[in-house]
Amino acid sequence: MLHEMKTPFRTMVDVETGTVDRAMFADADIYQLELERIFARAWNFMCHESQIPKAGDFFLSFIGEESVIATRDKKGELQVLLNSCRHRGNAVCRAESGNARSFLCTYHGWTYGLDGQLIGVPGYKDFYHEQLDKSQWGLVKAGKVASYKGFVFATMDPEAPDLEEYLGEVGRMSIDLIAERGDMVIVEGVQKNLIGCNWKLAVDNLFDWYHPQISHASAFMVGMLRGGSKLTPEDHAVLEKARAVGMSRGHRVVFGAYGHAIGGPRGSQEARDARRSMADRIEPIMEDLYRDTPQGRAALGEVGVDTSGHPNIFPNLWVSTGAYQLSLRLPRGPLNTEIWWFSFVPKDASEAKKKEIINSENHVFGAAGLLEQDDGENWDQSTRAMKGVIAQRYPLNFSMGLNKTPVQVIEGVAHVDTNINEHAQLWTYRIWTEWMDADSWATLKANHTKPPAHGDLI
Ligand code: FES
Ligand SMILES: [Fe+2]
């Protein structure tokens, strides 16, 4: 019934006026179709290669709501396998990570190799009379598995474009913004917690630089977001000035194909130089250093070098460039999202430094993070209200700064430099409708909106 009302999905987002239909955040049928048309089709982030370095290492991840095993087979090849026995569906792997020689189903004992092949069936001779074709009953394998600079992704759909093509300039830049900082190692364990919100609201928020002064007022009050406690008032004045020189239009939004986007502050040479000049009082963070190396510049390109905002790799991977973290927003029904935080530390940092980074990350995001607690409350309340039959008669407003700024395309990367705006969110929802309207990768490839052209008003 609802589908009849809402389809084609492109009617749910009006890019001219900046309105978005609330049903997409609460409707159960729409959610079910998202699992099919977005999560079962897209490249989903699995883990970092350093989490599964050796043959037999595995890490349990998710594609939508479905558990998958990211592992390395005996040849060292990455494999992503649906964690569901082909006999009665039981999970064949229950540990979140570890090392295994095979996956034994705890129900009746079917056993699968690291490449998913069915290799052992109790009673194969006596009960099955050797008539079960084991080659046909292996674990369901991902359509494609690939790694970009150590970041492992999988898609269940073999028709998906290859990972690098899927990521495009903007998706690759998003990962480069963390991968190019130098060698990093993952911190063991992933922080996981459940927030009562639709997964898209958590994505929407990572682009949102309108909310911090209100939502995070208490964090500002206690000085949490001021950074660099050793900085003097003079230092702050220098930083402010540098920021003003480099950032008359201080907010940059970058638009990628298939829904990838980056939104947030624009960096500048002036601001980086100013921070470097006070290296004894502020951490000479790798965030600054790598951008001006020849390798960093080459990887990030002209647009990326001065992009300091937050990327989202569609659908649900936030590369948290302010720190060394990645966050997955895993759907758990239309009204719940499981938030995962992966943290990294620079490989060569001292133990004390690594501890400090982890400590500060734990206090920002994750279950104990001040900011995430502020944000989660808002997403929870938004989602509750979004369910309302009355509320759903009225769209949400994404009109901030709309149709005012000409797009620039430099080195093939479409972006705008302007004031705080909601362009990245609107772009995400616009492309979301195209994923939802497309019945296959072929249709999506043919019909998706390309990033805007130079001079387009956005
Ligand atoms: S459910 Fe796995 S062996 Fe029966
Ligand atoms: Fe926030």
User: Once rounded to an integer, what is the mean pLDDT over residues 372-390?
Assistant: 96
What pLDDT band is residue 1 in, cutting at 50, 70 and 90?
very low
Q: pTM here?
A: 0.95
Rounded to whole angstroms, the Cα distance separating 450 from 458 reads 14
Per-residue pLDDT, averaged over 134-145, amounts to 98
228 pLDDT above the threshold of 60 = no
pLDDT band at 299 (very low <50, low <70, confident <90, very high): very high
Say yes or no: CB of residue 122 within 6 Å of ligand 1: no
| Percent of residues, the chain, with pLDDT higher than 90 | 79
Stated as kind and residue range, the H or E segment containing 448 is: none
Mean pLDDT for the chain overall: 93
Sign of the four-CA dihedral 150, 153, 159, 165: negative
Mutation probe of ligand 1 site: the residue of 81, 105, 118 with most atoms within 8 A of C-beta: 105
Q: Give residue 360 CA to ligand 2 midpoint distance, Å.
A: 16
> Within 13 Å, how many C-alpha atoms sit on residue 248's CB side?
1
Give the Å distance between the CA of 458 and the centre of ligand 2.
24
Work out the average pLDDT over 138-156: 98
Q: Which two tokens stand for residue 158?
A: 């073999």
Residue 182 reports pLDDT greater than 90: no
116 phi/psi in degrees, rounded to 5: 95, -10
247 pLDDT exceeds 70? no
Report the pLDDT value the prediction gives residue 441, as an integer from 0 to 100. Answer: 98
In which band, very low, low, confident or very high, does the pLDDT at 287 lie, cut at 50, 70 and 90?
A: low
Of 200, 306, 215, residue with least CA distance to 262: 306
To which H or E segment does residue 351 belong? helix 351-364
- 359 pLDDT higher than 70: yes
State the pLDDT confidence band at 245, using cuts at 50, 70 and 90: low
- pLDDT bracket for residue 27 (50, 70, 90): very high
Among the residue ranges 1-10, 20-29, 87-96, 351-360, the one predicted with the least confidence is 1-10
- Pairing of β 44-48 and β 151-155: antiparallel
> Going from the N-terminus, what domains does the chain have, and what CATH number goes with each?
44-148 (2.102.10.10), 170-447 (3.90.380.10)
For the segment 51-56, the average pLDDT, to the nearest whole number, is 97
pLDDT for the residue numbered 395: 98
Query: Per-residue pLDDT averaged across 13-27, rounded?
Result: 97
In the reported structure, the alpha carbon of residue 259 is separated from the centroid of ligand 2 by a whole-number distance in angstroms of 21
Mean pLDDT lowest among 92-96, 145-149, 266-270, 397-401: 266-270
**Packing angle of the helix pair 269-277, 233-246 (nearest 10 deg):** 160
- For the four alpha carbons of 291, 292, 296 and 301, in that order, the dihedral sign comes to positive
Residue nearest to atom 4 of ligand 1 (CA): 108
- Shortest-distance ligand to the CA of residue 112: 1
Query: In which order are the strands placed within the sheet that holds 66-72?
Result: 78-82, 66-72, 57-63, 97-99
Q: Beta 144-148 vs 19-20: how paired, if at all?
A: unpaired
Reading the block at residue 211, the tokens are 């909310």
Q: How many Å apart are CA 16 and CA 14, to the nearest integer? A: 5
Q: Give pLDDT, residue 250.
A: 87
